[in-house]
Amino acid sequence: MSFLAKSPWIVHYDASSCNGCDIEVLACLTPMYDVERFGIVNMGNPKHADVFLVTGYINTQNVDVVRNIYNQMPDPKVVVAIGICASTGNIFRECYNTIGGVDKVIPVDVYVPGCAARPESIIDGVVKALGILEQKKNKTYKKPEISGAS
Amino acid sequence: MPKRTIIPFGPQHPVLPEPIHLDLAVRDEKVVEVIPSLGFVHRGLELLVTRKDFMDMVLVAERICGICSFIHGLGYCQGVEEIMNLQVSPRAKYLRAFWAELSRVHSHILWLGLAADAFGFESLFMHSWKIREKILDIFEETTGGRVIFGVCKVGGLRKDIENDVLERIRKTMDEIEADYRTIAKVFKEDYSVKHRNCGVGVLTADEAYKLGAVGPTLRASGISQDMRKIGYGAYGDLNFEPVVEKDGDCYARTMVRVREVYQSFDLMRQCIDKMPEGPVDMKVTGFPKGEFFSRLEQPRGEVVYYIKGDGTKFIQRYRVRTPTFANVPPLVKMLGGCDLADVPVIVLTIDPCISCTER
Ligand code: SF4
């Protein structure tokens, strides 16, 4: 993690998760996994944050809230979608109230799979996101091409 | 008279892990009225019963909430089993009770941590969650998952716990309980904890009863009501008394949960002692036809499931009334007249689970 110039601060929003991924995000902050040793701090205020962690998928009520938080964050910023809900909609994708994964509303940089996503993979996802954040800061970031879509 | 100001609270708020929105009407520092608005995590999963077949639906039921996931799955299974007249094996019943109590310990310790965070005692939050990790380890060892387990199924369980593993878990439980005693003492005796909680957000027994409070919120006001006493599953054979406190304030609600953790440890030990031998699963044939109300005690209170089957693969109607929903009217009552600074603490003491409430 030598590329880290500063402590990255995160903001977490529970879009419409079942709490499973939420408590795993919180578990990352507590003594067992303790991401604070990397300088990662959970912030309540989006204007202080570099990394946006979203759990749960987007529905018609929270779409504006998610967009709002994203727009309030200063650039450069990265978004991590945590859990299958945030990535694709999980088993709830057929529900009448579902719009879909978080990437339907805001650009997502890293997807963390798992239902619930394990703390280890969440930390891994956040570390990946920090790499992208660094690239975005140096303006060397290129969006990966999605191949094989024929 | 000072002017009335409306302060929005939520949905994205540092003390709340989950989105709930309250409009707080305040005069000076006093809250005079509270208007809750819900719906940020509504998924509409009750309607999924018409898309998923009744055996798969238990997986959806578990995902109503990640904290009481086991008990949600259990409630669904018990309902369907009752409709289909399935006699679940005794071992499965005891193991279910064991896991349900383990979930309760997990949920209460998680809540104690969040409550500590809400009144600004961060190291207590960290200590509580450290203990909780050990409980999750037991879950992981026995079910394979940390939060979502998928062990409960209609007709029994997907997994058995072997007897020597159970004995080992009993030893681990003793260690966890010893650790827990140290933090429980802080919640009980610490000056600043008492200062923040005593006499805050009082709910009298009469109000609690009239407004339909459930679970620890009701028991903290002095009413002894616990759905486990109706004896579903293995609970009919286990010895316990509902934990009751008198004062009805935030401190009493905390104490109910602190003491219930000991009770759950005791129940788990009883389960291990009395664990019958035998299979844990059975073959399920046919489809559910009929209807049933299944009532269970969740960590947060009484939960009610209504299930109606029409003899096809898909269940016709599935409805859940969750404890937090029942506790919102008492919450609004408690918040009226409190200080603005106490709002986060009071909101947390009903142990709100929004994703249950809105599904
Ligand atoms: S991915 Fe699974 S655990 Fe996470 S929010 Fe969705 S249903 Fe819950």
Give the pLDDT of residue A149: 43
A59 and B41 in contact by Cβ < 8 A? Answer: yes
For residue B304, is it within any domain? no
Helix (H) or strand (E) holding B95: helix B90-118
From A55, A80, A94, mutation site for ligand 1 pocket: most ligand atoms within 8 A of C-beta: A55
> Would A27 be classed as within a structural domain?
yes
pLDDT confidence tier of residue B13, bands split at 50, 70 and 90: low
Whether A138 and chain B come into contact, CB under 8 Å, resolves to no
In a domain, A118, yes or no: yes
Nearest residue (CA) to ligand 1, atom 3: A116
> CB A32 to CB B18 under 8 A?
no
Q: Which domain holds residue B264?
A: 54-299+309-319
Q: Domain residues for A66?
A: 9-137
In this predicted structure, which of A5-14, A77-86, B301-310 has the lowest mean pLDDT?
A: A5-14
Query: Could you tell me what percent of chain B has a pLDDT over 90?
Result: 0
Question: Which one of B11, B125, B146 has the shortest CB-CB distance to A116?
Answer: B146
Residues A114-132: what's their mean pLDDT?
Answer: 83
Specify if B41 maps to a domain.
no
> What ipTM describes this predicted complex?
0.76
pLDDT at B86: 80
pLDDT in tens, B142-155: 888 888 888 888 88
Tokens of A69: 């938080």
In a domain, B26, yes or no: no
What are the residues whose beta carbons fall under 8 Å from the beta carbon of B206, sequence distance 6 or more?
none
Considering its fold, how many domains does chain A have in total? 1
* CATH code, A82: 3.40.50.12280
CA B35–ligand 1 middle distance (angstroms) = 29
Q: Residues 6 or more apart from A63 whose CB is under 8 A from it?
A: A99, A105
Q: Mean pLDDT, chain B, as a whole number?
A: 81
Dist. CA A85 → ligand 1 center (Å): 6
Count of Cβ atoms closer than 10 Å to residue B28 Cβ:
12
Q: Which residues of B194-213 are buried (b: 16+ CB within 10 A; e: fewer)?
A: eebbeebbbbeeebbbebeb
Q: Is residue A115's pLDDT more than 50? A: yes
Interface with chain A: mutation pick from B9, B18, B40, B57, highest number of A CBs within 10 Å: B40
Residue A1: inside a domain: no
Query: Least CB-CB distance to A27: which of B43, B60, B129?
Result: B129
What residues line ligand 1, using a CB cutoff of 6 Å? A 17-18, 20-21, 55-56, 83-85, 90, 115-116; B 63, 66, 148
Please indicate, yes or no, if residue A147 is contained in any of the structural domains: no
**Residue B155 tokens, joined:** 């007709």
Q: Which atom from ligand 1 is nearest to the alpha carbon of B147?
A: 3
Query: How many structural domains compose chain B?
Result: 1
What CATH number is attached to the domain comprising B248?
1.10.645.10
> For residue B297, is pLDDT > 70?
yes
Residue B239 lies in a domain: yes
Rounded CA gap, A42 and B252, in Å? Answer: 30
| Residues written for chain A | 150
For B197-221, what is each residue's pLDDT tens digit?
787 778 888 888 888 888 888 888 8
Q: Evaluate whether residue B257 is within a structural domain.
A: yes
- Per residue in B20-60, pLDDT (tens digit) is 777 778 777 777 777 777 777 777 777 777 777 878 888 88
Residue A150 pLDDT: 40
Checking if the pLDDT of B341 tops 80, the result is no
Residue A58: closest CA among chain B residues belongs to which residue? Answer: B41
Backbone angles phi, psi at B59, to 5 degrees: -65, -35
Three-class HEC string of A66-135: HHHHHHHCCCCCEEEEEHHHHHCCHHHHHCCCEEECHHHCCCCCEEECCCCCCHHHHHHHHHHHHHHHHH
As a whole number of angstroms, the distance between CA B200 and CA B218 comes to 16
- Spatial distance between the Cα atoms of B106 and B104, rounded to a whole number of angstroms: 5
Dist. CA A43–CA A12, nearest whole Å: 8
Mean pLDDT on B161-185: 85
What number is the average pLDDT over the span B67-93? 84
How would residue B269 be classed by pLDDT, with cut points 50, 70 and 90?
Answer: confident
pLDDT value for A5: 62
Q: Is the pLDDT of residue B103 over 80?
A: yes
